[in-house]
Structure 1
Amino acid sequence: MNIGIIIIFHNNEEDIDTKVFAQQLDYANNIEFCLVNNASKDNTYQLLKEIKDTRMTNVSIIDIKKFKSDVAAVRAGARYLSNQFTLKSIGYVSTNLINIKCNGLSGLIKSISENRKEIIGCNIEALERQETKLTLFKSLFSVIDYLKKIKVENQFLNLQYLSKF
């Protein structure tokens, strides 16, 4: 079962190590990544394009020209993923809402890859508790919330979620 993960970037040039990040994305099997550049004023978009240009088949990039809220950026990524792929679950992460300075983006991707089945399990449980069928946007889930819920035993356990959608 494939899942989609939307990662929102805004002025994260200094946080992106293209080589390491691309390696982690390459190991993420059965996960479609949608990297959304939310009107960065630095070279974030160029770095994301470099990652995509390393022949990443599971990576898509969206460039939002005018800054939007994280919710709007997530919606743009969700629309793209739902139109391009048949995915059972779509999650999101905003790099501006987590502490990536200490652990790096590659640690986030590693956490998602290693815990893919558990993340899907959490999402299935949440969807089964719903009495009515949710729309695409209401069925999106926070990857960080699920990682915290399953008590991931790695460097991302200490993430501090600064705010919620």
Structure 2
Amino acid sequence: MKVLAIDDQQLVLLPLQKRLVELGYEVKTETNSSKALELYDCFNPDLVIVDINMPGISGLDVVKYIRETKKSLMPIMVLSGNIQDDIITEGFELGINDYMKKPLSLNEICARVKRLIGAPSMEETIQESNVMIQQRCVGVVIPCYNEEERLLSKEFTDYIDKNTGYHLCFVNDGSKDNTLNVLQELQKGREDFITVYDCEKNGGKAEAVRLGMLHMTKKEDLDYLGFLDADLSTDLADFDDLVKTIESSEFKIVSGSRIARMGANITKKSARKIISLTINFIIRKILSMDFKDTQCGAKIFHKDVIGIAFDKKFVTQWLFDVEIFKRMTLHFGLKSAKAMLCEQPLKRWIHADGSKLSIKDSVKIIGQLGQIAWLYRGEKNKNLVPNSTALTVA
């Protein structure tokens, strides 16, 4: 039994193909809908699974080709995040047999496939899958410097194995230990879901994140891009909550916030807490925004603002988050920028031992805040291009 799956997002097709093959189906996939029509003609599938929202030829156009041009009654299933009634109705009027709304589990998809075309005869019992097919695809940049001992490799791999739609990009920022080898080992067998970007020289966290974000913009199937600390002081489940917020809103940036409150597990060293309050007060004055926590290492961005936020090198190494928000303000204007930014409290944030930003460094950061205020001042610097390389905290 042959299945043709068509979706412009490779991160959706890969786990679907793997699962159907495990169940005994012959499966071909295609991200380009024009090529998919050619593949349909030569593959002669027993079932087509197609997404609706694709560039060029839409999923409904594929259905029309099969039903009207080819005059085929072969079963067609739609797997889409589109929940518009008129689109769903049009699909059934064109002759689709099933409409599945993302997100949903692979188990449900496979059960629907079996209902339409039956199950290949297999003697061995296949264990049920706990994988979810997501509506959106997200790239996550994780800067790494000397993380050989701290990198929680299993937590990363377990998460992407269970949650489709995530592609992790680990940026090795010129580590002096064995971090690069650890990352390359982590990537093995998961090359479609994990990228290792190697910087030969240490350029600091700001530059590592910037290069990683620009590298990931080249992946066309990603809807959103974000970054996360390697020590998982903010865990991936909390990060996914940020993604859910941005995909269901008009926000362009959703930033995690480490606000201590009832029902949340937010722990900081007391000295860091005092320094943070001082720094945050200065930042609010610089940005003219009531941000509670700009420096949380968990943020998610709409892909269309990545150029504004990351094209130019940052002036500072640790305060690039402030520079991002300042760049948004200078590009869109303060009122519009405020409407595009969302600060979302985290459920969990734990200060990790071995954090490279010391209390002494935090005090020195105040001087760098003055530098940001000066360099990004006023509307006359709207097209400011920082030429200096990222400063290091001495």
Query: 1:138 aligned to 2:309?
Result: yes
Out of 343, 361, 364, the residue aligned to residue 149 of structure 1 is: 343
TM (norm. structure 1) is 0.68
Which aligned pairs between 1:1-165 and structure 2 lie closer than 5 A? Answer: 1-95=136-230, 100=231, 105=232, 108-121=235-248, 124-126=250-252, 134=305, 136-138=307-309, 149-153=343-347, 155-156=348-349, 158=350
**Cα deviation per residue 1:17-76 (whole Å; 9 max; x = unaligned)?**
333332123233212211101011111111111111142522111011111122221221
* Matched residue SS, 1:42: coil
**Does the 8 Å CA contact 1:25/1:109 hold for their aligned counterparts?**
no
Is the deviation greater in 24-33 or in 66-75? Answer: 24-33
TM (norm. structure 2) is 0.31
Unaligned runs of 5+ in 1: 128-132, 143-147
* Matched residue SS, 1:91: strand
Question: Are residues 114 and 135 of structure 1, via their aligned partners in 2, closer, same or farther at CA, if it must alter by over 3 Å?
Answer: closer
- Larger proportion of helix: 1
CA drift of 1:136 comes to 1.7
CA drift of 1:138 comes to 1.2
**Cα deviation per residue 1:91-146 (whole Å; 9 max; x = unaligned)?**
12344xxxx3xxxx396223223543125457x4146xxxxx7452517996xxxx
* Matched residue SS, 1:83: coil
Distance, in Å, in 2 between the alignment partners of 1:94 and 1:70 is 10
**Does the 8 Å CA contact 1:3/1:32 hold for their aligned counterparts?**
yes
Question: Are residues 125 and 63 of structure 1, via their aligned partners in 2, closer, same or farther at CA, if it must alter by over 3 Å?
Answer: same
CA drift of 1:150 comes to 2.3
* Matched residue SS, 1:12: coil
**Does the 8 Å CA contact 2:213/2:310 hold for their aligned counterparts?**
no
Is the deviation greater in 72-81 or in 84-93? Answer: 84-93
Distance, in Å, in 1 between the alignment partners of 2:343 and 2:178 is 34
* Matched residue SS, 2:218: helix
Give the share of equivalent positions with the same residue, in percent: 24
**Does the 8 Å CA contact 2:213/2:306 hold for their aligned counterparts?**
no
For these two proteins, the number of residue pairs brought into alignment is 144
Larger Rg: 2
Letter in 2 for 1:111: D
CA drift of 1:81 comes to 0.8
Letter in 1 for 2:346: V
Question: Are residues 78 and 20 of structure 1, via their aligned partners in 2, closer, same or farther at CA, if it must alter by over 3 Å?
Answer: closer
Distance, in Å, in 1 between the alignment partners of 2:306 and 2:203 is 21
